[in-house]
Structure 1
Amino acid sequence: MIAQAHIARQPIVDRKQQLIGYELFARESATSTHAPEHHSAESDSVLLFNALSNIGSERLFGEKLAFVNCVLEDLGAEHLDIVFPDRMVLEIPRIHTDDASVIAEVATKLKALRERGFLLAAGPFAAATPYAAWLPQINFLKADVQALSPHVATALQRKADIYRSLRLVAEKVETAEQFKTYHDAGFHFFQGYYFARPQTISAKVINPAHANVLQLMNLVMRQADLDEIESVLKRDPALSFKLLRYINSSGFGLMSEITSFRHAVVILGYKKLFRWLALLLATIPGNAASPAIARTAITRGRMMELLAQNMLSEAKSMRPLRHST
């Protein structure tokens, strides 16, 4: 079945107007100019999968940074396992409460993401006192210049002076005067119509058969032999093409192109391959149950991982004791 994937990208530039990355936006068609109204962890997982396996990271952002809007549910989600942390900037939304315990809980998740290598961005709210625990983990503060007051801009610059790795991004810059104002104010990066409007990148998508994806997931879950896995990949060109496009994305940093299915599986590992397959299943159109099936599959996979860990621990504890003679 042939479908299409669409993602818009808008450049982000430095003080010399040199490109440093793109913000990525979901699009429902090649002509739409706005993101879909419903923003969820599932829609974010589809955007990331389309970026890496359908359109391709080389076409979208290459060696540059990719800024992606998140919902809070994304912060511990499995779909982040398939992305390249060192090029991915997760834009963290504001919490709809000032409850200190909730803010602290999210701060712990942000720290874990930073330890995995992800870069993080947030709005000016992250510079406020209630979010003090977040700021050491934040790499970029993005401020809408259409709504930014001079005293808030000054306060953000003070934070950047304290946290030397913090970078300020002026977004929705629409005129040369606005660029000059925030350039003079010490902002590091800039985004907006003054530089470029979002450009939609599209790709034709040939989807594999549901049955083949499910069969491959079952094989991976039970740690089947590589020959069995390879045989499923060989009989579904769409499935194998997506896997090779993903494994050959620039984020893997491979010295040469991977053309062998066996080699691709070995590099990915069963755990990451399972996550990738679950997301693939969720993106195949024409089946409203796909996201639910994918969630169930991931849950089962995590249960199997935990059971395997427990069995290994029990096996170690049951090793026969050595008797002295």
Structure 2
Amino acid sequence: MDGFLTYALHLDAQRHIKGYKFEWHAASGSTSASDDFRALLSTVASNLNSVKAGWRLGRLMVYLDATAEGLAFEELQALPPKSVVLCLRLAELADKKIWPTVDALRAQGFGIMLCDVDVLPAPPTVSNKPPVSDAVEEADAAEAPDPFGALSRITHLDMLEGRKELVDGARHLRGPGTPAIHPIATRIASWAAFDACAARRLDAFVRGKEAIAAPLQAGVTLQPESVLIIRVMQMIQRNEDVRSIEAALAHDQALTARLLHHINTLTMGHNVEVHSLHHAVALLGFGPLFRWLSLLLATSKKANSMAYMTKKSIMRGRFVELMGQGTLPADEANNLFVAGMFSLIDRVLGVPMEEVLAKVQLPEAVQEAVRTRGGLYGPFVALAEACEVDVGEAAALAASIGVDAEKVNASHLAAMAWALDVNPAEVTY
């Protein structure tokens, strides 16, 4: 089925990425919720889970909008249960007919999240009604929905904007000795709202343009490590001697080690190991080296207190690069990656875009993509943004560069997995 996948970030109170809330937007706009769920399951499973590679998102969780009918889909079994949370509404989850299926999924390890509940149902009370026959009572019980019984089966609960009554209620739904329900705020529109939730120990789903990025603060300057990386990038642009570049990097051995780690892990594979910058240039040339320095700039020490933005910029760079494969010549790959990653570099480093671009003289086509989403690479960056935020324009943008929805989704998920390999929170040097 044609459609585009987008996501919200699952962040903890310290703004670390804990997972992704995936959503499916059918291209035709006329499919059922169950059809959308099936398409989402197939896309996620085929691109993120395989017999050979396993689950490509490591310890990160995935949240999927499910339906009662969809709980029985065979495609669900192609995902790792302990990494997946199925999101249902109370009207579906309170139906006792699906409880055996829900219980079986819970036994496998799947999580269940109750969504879009304004008020938590109260527990059942003792009735003062006259007694009825056992047969009538059993029939009534079989037909009537049981909201409180639904609550006993959930692992996660939608806190909407982080409402106090929902938070307080969720923390009293479980008795002593039973697993607590994991509350997540799902309607976060600003960092002020996020911080209010974080103060109450709430995780949150964060979505929106540049993930509701806060405005840049005046007076913020580049960190010393970032300055050094930019200096080396300038040396490469001037085609300076490799020994001069090595001498500049020698001031920070840890930085050199990180650069070689990226090159060996993400470029060379296991057949060849690069031991020096001179060796890397001899094997790869200056173009790929500029690309890896761009990656180092995004992951530089104290570049930004919001580590999620670093990962987001890396994802975007890789996504843009993958989208260009088969569409643009192979030698454009490094420029595509830099265009995608630099489109968020101001948010990563916490300084205005023009200040960064004044120091790093990117190729004109890359600058045009970063500044205006124009030129050769601009539509690729714009497509990446559309898939992160609002897929309303994704179909037209994909058509404009000659790619279909299947490639867009596959590239998006592959970039997500790739970013996990290079994020400093997951890599130990």
Higher strand content, 1 or 2: 1
Structure showing greater relative contact order (alpha-carbon pairs closer than 8 Å, 6 or more residues apart): 1
Name which one, 1 or 2, has greater alpha-carbon Rg: 2
The normalised TM-score by structure 1 is 0.49
The normalised TM-score by structure 2 is 0.38
